[in-house]
A = this chain, B = another copy of it.
Amino acid sequence: MKKANITIKDIAKELGVSPSTVSRALKDHPDISQETKKQINDLAQKLNYQPNTVALSLRQSKTNTLGVIIPEIAHFFFSAVISGIEDIAHDAGYHVIITQSNESFEREVMNTKALFNSRVDGILMSVSRETENYDHLQSLLDYEIPLVFFDRIIDSLNACKVIVNDEQGAYEATTHLIEQGCYRIAHLAGPQNLAISKNRLNGYKAALADNRYMIDENLVKVCGLGTFEEAESITNEILDYRFPPDAIFANNDVAAYGAMIAIRKKKLRIPEDIAIVGFSNWRFSSLIQPALSSVTQPGFKMGQEATRLLMKQINKEKDEESITETISLKTNLVVRESSKKI
């Protein structure tokens, strides 16, 4: 036999009081006498009364729910972000609805609309690769739905943003190699139409410059395809130089992996002959590749920070100027013991 959901009315009827009295008693309103309070709370407990949050949401025009739109859930970086979001949201008493666009613009728009219709109190999002029209996002802003972008942000929109400081990460990685005593550091760069790739290249160059290293354009190779085979063959090419590099800074983990393969095939040692540092989001990269140090993006932290920004917006008084803030997070340089040259 199915247990019935108990409502405030049920309690009120049972005790011969009005629903409002019950409502007030349950939230410890000072106007209610201790005696009735006790009576009501006892009965509520006994009947296992559970407040209906849907009714509350309608009444208060507040759902205590956040919406998340990401390109892909089953990606370590994004799932780390979700985890960070859930972490902060949970502490603030909020629920989290997850939707994924699967990199499809159409689906992103659908999700945006669906979350709007669900009257979520705020939205966190990372746009799909296809997204070039921002009407659906501008629309959220028009209705003043608190909105925070993370990672894949839209620069031109007037909203809060949380990103990773790629340039600083690349700078640190390169500096680390320099500190290890490397003197010819190559860079396997990413496609230069992506901001992240450009920023990483810039960080690499800045570190070299700050250490009075010459920048040798022959050591900077763009891996346009993004496959590890490509990185492997490019690394091969570099290794055959008359003055080959003694270190490689890779734009991402796939490139780092390709470089590693090429180096191993040449029977060179990592890191004694050639050190590698790469950007990476692989969960177990430190476990799998003890030879490689890596620069990791703080996904969990990004989720946390983005949610904190969102909560700030949600809790703002309506008439205050909406503040748009951009947070730039530091990357983490994970140095493996075994990758130190010294």
Contacts and interface: CB of A to CB of B under 8 A. Distances in A.
Interface of A: 2-3, 5, 48, 50-55, 57-58, 63, 65, 72-76, 78-80, 82-83, 86, 90, 95-100, 113-114, 116-119, 139, 142-144, 228, 254, 257, 282-284, 287-289, 299-300, 318
Contacts of A257: 287-288
Contact of A53 (B83, B98, B100, B118): B118
B99 A90 contact: yes
A86 B288 CA distance: 30
A221 to B, nearest CB: 21
A154 to B, nearest CB: 19
Contacts of A86: 73, 98-100
A333 B74 CA distance: 20
A74 B76 contact: yes
Contacts of A53: 117-119
A276 to B, nearest CB: 14
> Copy number in this complex?
2
A300 B74 contact: yes
25 contacts: A2-B143, A2-B144, A3-B142, A50-B116, A50-B117, A52-B119, A54-B118, A65-B97, A73-B83, A73-B86, A74-B80, A74-B83, A74-B299, A74-B300, A78-B79, A82-B98, A86-B98, A86-B100, A96-B99, A97-B97, A97-B98, A254-B287, A257-B287, A282-B288, A288-B288
A48 B143 CA distance: 11
Contacts of A113: 50
A145 B305 CA distance: 34
B82 A73 contact: yes
Contact of A143 (B5, B117, B228): B5
Contacts of A300: 74
A50 B145 CA distance: 14
A54 B57 contact: yes
A51 B118 CA distance: 9
Contacts of A57: 54
A74 B63 contact: no
B117 A52 contact: yes
Given A2-B143, A54-B119, A74-B83, 6 more contacts: A2-B144, A2-B318, A73-B79, A74-B283, A74-B299, A86-B100
A157 B83 CA distance: 28
Contacts of A118: 53-54, 95
Nearest to A4: B143
